[in-house]
Amino acid sequence: MARDPRFDILFEPVQIGPVTSKNRFYQVPHCNGMGYGLPMGLAAMRGVKAEGGWGVVCTEEVEIHPTSDVTPAFEGRLWDDSDIPALALMTEAVHAHGSLAGLELVHNGHHSPNRYSRVPPIAPSAMAVDTYDPVQARAMDKADIRAFRQWHRDAALRGKQAGFDIIYVYAGHNLCLPMHFIAKRYNDRTDEYGGSLENRVRLFRELIEDTKEAVGNSCAVAVRFAVDELLGPDGITAQDEGREVVEMLAEMPDLWDVNVSDWSNDSLTSRFGEEGNQESYVGFVKSLTSKPVVGVGRFTSPDAMVSQIRRGVLDMIGAARPSIADPFLPKKLEEGRIEEIRECIGCNICVSGDMQCVPIRCTQNPTMGEEWRRGWHPEKIAPKGSDDSVLVVGAGPAGLECSLALAKRGYEVTLAEAGAELGGRVTCESQLPGLSQWARVRDYRVGRLQEMANVSIYRESPLSAPDVRDFGFARVIIATGASWRRDGLGRALRAPLPGLDQTTVYTRDDLMAGGVVGDHLVVYDDDHYYMGGVLAEKLIAEGHRVTLVTPAAMASAWTENTLEQHHIQSRLLSLGVEIIVSHRLSGLEKGAARVTCVYSERDKAIACDGVVLVTERLPKDGLYRELADNPDGLTQAGITSLRAIGDCYAPATVAAAVYGGHLAARELDDPSPEPVPFLREPRRL
């Protein structure tokens, strides 16, 4: 198909200092949980982005020195020359597809506790590190500043040697040393590096000058700068010092990459921010500089991208999460395949990989992070290994992804769904507050399946074990999902909750079906992800009074990994939800819930009209068990393989369900993988 001419502007080349990007698509630096620890996996992942058409593909933050050690996180490293070969793997992979490679150099200042290097951290002023380690950073003297500038210069030269085309001077979030000097709350110096804004910007200016002098003849020098910290007068704002910094340095770098901080604001989830939400903060930058400007905003709509360019907001469309959800987004636009784009849902499950120091993953793109170790490609899949027909039972995220991947392989697929709607849990959960974009998980897959002649979809088709055996399919995959427990079993309680017959008990399924009665409801969250918080928000919107109880030390504790926890707890409090932390639900009484402190065992009763339990889910695996427990019946029916996937197999995240469905489709011809079914990177001895 031909490209829509409305999008031609996105494919214009852009000059960035001494180098040229082939188009306006710019994969900004983003962490990935691989870094220096898994360089081959990292290179393959970045290479796929370049193959997918991104004109510029950048690293994550790359530490320049042992005083910038954020172990156990796996970021990049350029401490010395021995780190060059690992990063060169990435530049080679990116250059193979005609894209530019960008290197984000970073020193995290007092955000670096230096757990591995054991070097005392450094900062503009003496202060505690912000990671809750019992460590303080020492104030840098003039010799330290000179040394820091030399470390940065050396790292830039190593980056040039590794083949990078763009070298960053980074002050993007409030986690890096140049920003610490700029921000008054971190800098109480009285010398030429403190006091006035001009003095506080001095180090940033010097780093730009040093880097341009070192590599500017062959590499572009970019700056990443957070123009607003969203702290009001306590921080840098776009109306005040953020604007002044850009005015001071406007023509110095070859490119401005601008955003807001901190990371939880920059990578705001769809629950709390719309596409393009940073425009009101960064929109002024282009009016102050002749250099190209890059910005982000979880851009998935090409019309929104074109609008940003034509209205003079940005010169290049920056993306991290959209490039993860679909590495081939640019190429699909270029080839007129807009309907094939896997749009980012803004869930930040990608961030959770980095936060937990494991390889990146994505709800929409199950191949993310598996490019090298499993050899998976987001657009290519091995052809079928037989002429066997496949029955997939259940059209939730696992069943839809499995059906789509199998159909792409060329299998004849029949997808049977018991209900009238496809999508399973994502169809249900996308109706909850802030989660509407999660429906994209369903919409992308249903849209592709409906185009495929080798797929038959049957709605309102509940199947029994005899039905499955009678159909004559050689391969059967069960994806029948899970339901929320209503007995209270979870992490904090491993026996049924006492008094279940004393007070009305609800689950998510009940709330979605309606009919909740009573003024005051207790939401008990022992799941710790998003569900407890969104159900509390839903109940508030419906006019109920809500108390949220959790054994954790905060509401929705696991969402710290998706950068949402602060936003969630702030919203719940603003809505009037009472939050009781560090308490487990220990029993129900008539008109009350009894909760017990997890530390002191002191308990108290909370008067209420009902309790909403958000604890564990039970796999709906009855059909699978009935089939699996009768192997002779499978043989007689000609069923050669039977597999359970997704929540039916092991309840987890939507991302895990999609991944499980994709894995089953890839492994259909190889049901007995090796004990370690993926490659492991060699360690240097």
The residues annotated with a catalytic role in the active site are: 31, 170, 173, 266
Helix or strand or coil: residue 484? strand
Nearest alpha carbon to residue 148 among 163, 136, 138: 138
Q: Contact, 306 vs 9, CB < 8 A?
A: yes
CA dihedral of residues 22, 165, 284, 568 (deg, nearest 10): 100
Cα separation of 400 and 392, whole Å? 9
Cα separation of 258 and 326, whole Å? 23
Cα separation of 292 and 308, whole Å? 13
Cα separation of 410 and 405, whole Å? 9
Cα separation of 166 and 187, whole Å? 29
Q: Contact, 153 vs 210, CB < 8 A?
A: yes
- The residue type found at 210 is D
The torsion angles phi and psi of 556, rounded to 5 degrees, stand at 50, 55
Looking at 379-451, list the stretches that DSSP marks H as alpha helix, in order from N- to C-terminal side: 397-409, 425-429, 440-449
Cβ atoms < 10 Å from Cβ of 5: 7
Question: Strands (DSSP E) along 271-427, which ranges?
Answer: 293-295, 316-319, 389-393, 412-416
Task: Tell me the CB-side half-sphere exposure of residue 292, using CA atoms within 13 A.
Answer: 27
Nearest alpha carbon to residue 345 among 326, 367, 318: 326
Q: In what order do the strands lie in the sheet with 505-506?
A: 505-506, 610-614, 520-525, 545-549, 578-580
Cα separation of 169 and 148, whole Å? 13
Helix axes 202-215, 241-249, angle to 10 degrees: 30
Q: Contact, 53 vs 98, CB < 8 A?
A: no
Q: Contact, 125 vs 189, CB < 8 A?
A: yes
DSSP character at residue 368: T
Query: Which residues have C-beta within 8 Å of that of residue 574, sequence separation ≥ 6?
Result: none
7 conformational bin, left if phi > 0, alpha if psi -120 to 50, beta if neither: alpha
CA dihedral of residues 78, 80, 86, 89 (deg, nearest 10): 80
Nearest alpha carbon to residue 65 among 165, 169, 148, 174: 148
- List b or e across 500-512, with b for residues whose CB sees 16 or more CB atoms inside 10 angstroms: eeebbbbbbebbe
Cα separation of 41 and 435, whole Å? 31
Could you check whether the bond before residue 72 is cis, i.e. omega within 30 degrees of 0? yes
Q: Contact, 552 vs 581, CB < 8 A?
A: yes
Q: What share of the chain is helix, strand, coil (3-state, %, to 5)?
A: 35, 20, 45
Looking at 52-188, list the stretches that DSSP marks H as alpha helix, in order from N- to C-terminal side: 84-95, 142-162, 177-182
Cα separation of 375 and 397, whole Å? 22
**Diameter of the chain measured on Cα atoms:** 85
Helix or strand or coil: residue 91? helix
Cα separation of 107 and 98, whole Å? 30
The token duo for 325 is 């959800």
